[in-house]
Amino acid sequence: MNSDSRKTLAVMFTDIAGFTRHMERDEAGALAMISIIRKHLVPLLGSSGGTLIKEMGDGTLSVFEDPRAAVRCSIRLQEKLKDCGFKLRIGIHRGTVHLSPGDVLGDTVNVASRLEKMAPPGYLHIGGNTEKHGRWQKTRGAFPGSSAAEGAGKAHRPVHGEGHRKAPPALFQGNR
């Protein structure tokens, strides 16, 4: 990535739900969770056109050119982890980011991070801007209700989807 450049990307944050509690109970087991995520995430990113920007403790930051690829990658990751004894929270948002060596910065990154924190364990939470560019179908099974994630003076209405579905990434219900 070029230093000090801007690009429109889908930003994906992942985080292990309840990681501190896992660490308190079984430190070695909790650290193994990070290795399990890496083992599954890195190949999924490669096959989805995503790039792992960095790992942050029990979380990751990745970017994608195509927001649909980000959502497909997150669903596949949740499916691969469904029997691992822990769940991820995932947040995805699409917009302009500032690229710098080993990092991405900007409002889009902040919103994606907030969406990840709002997602219940085992779910992904995508911003309305991501939904708009993804042309998702609505289907049953998504949970209702959300709050707006604030970023740079704009409210982004999140879209929810459950991560442990066999369905394609067309399982989101938007709050309009």
Per-residue pLDDT at 99: 94
The amino acid that residue 96 corresponds to is T
Instruction: List residues bridging with 59 in a β-sheet.
Output: 15, 56
Question: Residue 33: helix, strand or coil by DSSP?
Answer: helix
Per DSSP, the chain holds a count of helices (H) and strands (E) of 5, 10
Sheet strands (E) in the chain: 5-16, 50-56, 59-64, 88-100, 103-105, 123-127, 149-151, 154-156, 158-162, 173-174
Domain ranges of the chain: 5-174
| Mean pLDDT split into 10-residue runs, the chain, 176 residues | 77 96 96 96 97 96 95 93 92 94 94 92 81 45 37 43 38 32
CA distance 77 to 165: 11
pTM beyond 0.85: the answer is no
Per-residue pLDDT at 132: 57
Angle ∠(132,92,21) on CA atoms, nearest 5: 150
Per-residue pLDDT at 172: 37
Per-residue pLDDT at 131: 57
End-to-end CA distance of the chain: 35
Per-residue pLDDT at 4: 58
Right CATH for 5-174 from 1.10.3470.10, 3.30.70.1230, 3.40.50.970, 1.10.420.10:
3.30.70.1230
